[in-house]
A = this chain, B = another copy of it.
């Protein structure tokens, strides 16, 4: 599942095969099919695990009790680490790009994952604005969608342009959001 997750983020759903995983694990492809009969089930399990992990984090007091600014820093750090780790891409973004050729169950998982990310980000932005840490106009949901979309997009852009532009995006968000001290 670790391998499948990496392959999803590095090459996409259509870009990896049972042979990739089998070779890396030094087993035959049938051994992978034994644990995950179909590619759909494999990817579904990977996304479900990813979602569970995110829920665990945000409900853990190490994150939950952080002030909004540090919460956002933690969120950004997920994407910074994703970029640093072999130029990976956001799992949701990878799946959305291939959405049209995905089995239904994967579409549902992708939608659920995206909504969960968005919901948490929106709540964090709202909390930050109410406590006077963040400034932005309009609805928190719009700003949340903008930030999530830009992080997804920036990770992809970094593939073509390198990490500089990606870090510039993160920096710009902080500048835009944070009230002058």
Interface positions of A (Cβ within 8 A of B): 10-12, 14-15, 87, 89, 92-101, 107, 110-111, 114-115, 118, 136-139, 141-143, 145-154, 156-157, 159-161, 165-166, 168-169, 171-173, 175-176
- Beyond A148-B157, A149-B165, A153-B153, list 5 extra A-B contacts (CB 8 Å): A12-B12, A99-B160, A111-B160, A145-B154, A149-B153
B residues in contact with A136, CB < 8 Å: 176
Q: Give Cα distance in the complex from A143 to B168, angstroms.
A: 8
Check B14–A157 contact: CB distance below 8 A.
no
Max count, chain B CB within 10 A of own CB: residue among A98, A107, A114, A137: A98
B residues in contact with A168, CB < 8 Å: 139, 141-142, 145-146
Check A96–B146 contact: CB distance below 8 A.
no
B residues in contact with A138, CB < 8 Å: 171-172, 175
The smallest beta-carbon distance between A84 and chain B, in angstroms, is: 16
Least CB separation from A99: chain B residue: B159
Check A176–B137 contact: CB distance below 8 A.
yes
B residues in contact with A118, CB < 8 Å: 161, 165
Check A172–B160 contact: CB distance below 8 A.
no
